[in-house]
Amino acid sequence: MKLRINIVPEAQVQIDELSAWWDANRPAAVQLADELERLFALLLFRPHIGLLLDGSPITGVRTRRIGSTPYMLYYWPETAKGVVHVLAVWTTAFGTVPPLSRP
């Protein structure tokens, strides 16, 4: 079954805000959009590659670093339904895990 990426609205807001900040403050760094695209492509091929998140309110949530950035992608591969849900983009510098809810 071919997988697709579903970015939940909260994660899309986080991606948009981070992308705007990244473009304004890290112009010489790798492009965040490029790193996200590479990671999405990887997840479509190997959706269970990330580390399982202990204590998640959603069983099976995984995390994977976004390229060389300090940010992590929190996602839930629901492969039986052909979808990888992107739940959050977050950094451990916040000191917590992001609020997560089932899409």
* pTM of the model as a whole: 0.92
Domains of the chain, first to last: 4-94 (3.30.2310.20)
pLDDT tens for 14-57 read 999 998 998 888 877 778 888 999 999 999 999 999 999 998 88
Q: What is the rounded CA–CA span in Å between residue 1 and residue 79?
A: 8
Is residue 92 scored above 80 in pLDDT?
no
Is residue 88 scored above 90 in pLDDT?
yes
- pLDDT at res. 52: 96
SS3 80: helix
Is residue 5 scored above 90 in pLDDT?
yes
